[in-house]
Every structure is written in structure tokens, then in C-alpha cells.
Chains A and B, each alone.
Chain A
Amino acid sequence: DAKTTQPTSMDCAEGRAANLPCNHSTISGNEYVYWYRQIHSQGPQYIIHGLKNNETNEMASLIITEDRKSSTLILPHATLRDTAVYYCIVRVALGNDYKLSFGAGTTVTVRA
């Protein structure tokens, strides 16, 4: 019941920017977009989240379109260690609570 759509996979050259798209056309006005990544079988690692404004931290930048129906995660200078599955997540309502619904994500392979 994931509410986002991401490409299945993408390749990126080491040292180049990686732009990961995500569609979330049914997002409600007060819901955040969260990005996580999972390297092999490690625990998902939080990357960044945003509501409507673009966000940047030490790991990545998040660009959210004005209508909030899509977003792009930007890894500015991809390294081999950025090879992972990247998840774009909008929380799903569960009674009076919410849950993170992980879809299949985008498998990003950074090549030397």
C-alpha cells in the first residue's frame, strides 16, 4: 500500500550527481515525504524529509515540486558507498496513527 512510485533501478557514475525521482500524486497537504536508503541487509538509513520547501543536509538535497505531487532526491557527488536501495515514503494512515510503507524502492548502482 505504498503511496509512491519510483523507478526500479538506475545507474550512476562515481563523482556525478544522482537524481532519484519519486511520484506521490495522492499526497495530502500536511504529509511529509521521507527518504531512506538500505545498504545490503543493514537497517534503513534516514536521509532527509520535507513538506513543501526544498531541503538540504550533509547527505543529500530534496526538491519537492510546487504541487507536491513529485520530488527528487539528489546525491551531489555519488560514491561507490552510495550503492543501495533508496526508498521514497509518504506515511500511510493506520487508524489514528501512521505507518511507513516501504515499497520496492530504487536500486541505485554507482559505477567507477
Chain B
Amino acid sequence: DSGVTQTPKHLITATGQRVTLRCSPRSGDLSVYWYQQSLDQGLQFLIHYYNGEERAKGNILERFSAQQFPDLHSELNLSSLELGDSALYFCASSAADRNQPQHFGDGTRLSIL
């Protein structure tokens, strides 16, 4: 158990819809990261938040957005969903020391029908 909690574990929805994925970091971790893993691509970094502030963006589509709340949990919002958005979405957290490793949750499996 990494200590990172993601909900829901599975999500099935239709094209054009909007969903919200939730992540609770490990106790004491200030950084939250989001990743996408689809069948034909490896793990792709999406975005990094540190103590409520956006720190870095990776390959995140404009239809996707994220935020980190004062209690440090984070949400990833995916809108105008397309079939290609079907993937595993992972959240990771790390301590303030930027050299400390990231610890990953079990992911949310998103299926677009």
C-alpha cells in the first residue's frame, strides 16, 4: 500500500461527457502528480501540483484540467471525452524534498463507450 488513494477505481462513461478523478496523497506529501497510461503509449506525465500551485505541465490536453485543494487532495477533470481518452490515470505524491521518490496510487481505469 503506497498510501496514495485514488477514486473511483473504475469509471465508464460516454463520449462528450465530463468526469472528475480524485486523489488523496500520502500523509505529509505536498506534491501531487497525474499520469495517463493508454494501451499504445507508456506512462505519460500530465501535470504537477505543489502545495496548491501548478508547477509543471506535460502532455495534458486543453480539455483536461486539475487542481490541488488546501487539504492537499487533488482532482483531475476530463471534459468533452473522446474514445481515445480511455486509459488508466495514475496519481502520485512525493515529499517536499524534490529528490524524494514519487509514490503512485492504484489508478482509475476510465472507459469511454
Contacts and interface: CB of A to CB of B under 8 A. Distances in A.
Interface string A23-46: 000000000101010100111111
Contacts of B56: 94-99
Contact of A103 (B4, B42, B58): B42
- Residues of A contacting B: mostly: loop
Q: How large is the interface on A (under 10, 10 to 19, 20 to 34, 35 or more residues)?
A: 20 to 34
B105 A94 contact: no
Contact of B2 (A32, A43, A102, A105): A43
Interface residues of B, number: 25
Nearest to B46: A99
B64 interface: no
Contacts of A45: 2, 104
B58 A99 contact: yes
17 contacts: A32-B99, A38-B43, A42-B106, A43-B90, A43-B107, A44-B90, A46-B2, A46-B101, A46-B104, A94-B45, A96-B55, A97-B55, A97-B56, A98-B56, A99-B33, A100-B43, A102-B43
5 nearest A-B pairs in the assembled complex, by CB-CB distance = A97-B56, A43-B104, A102-B43, A99-B45, A94-B56
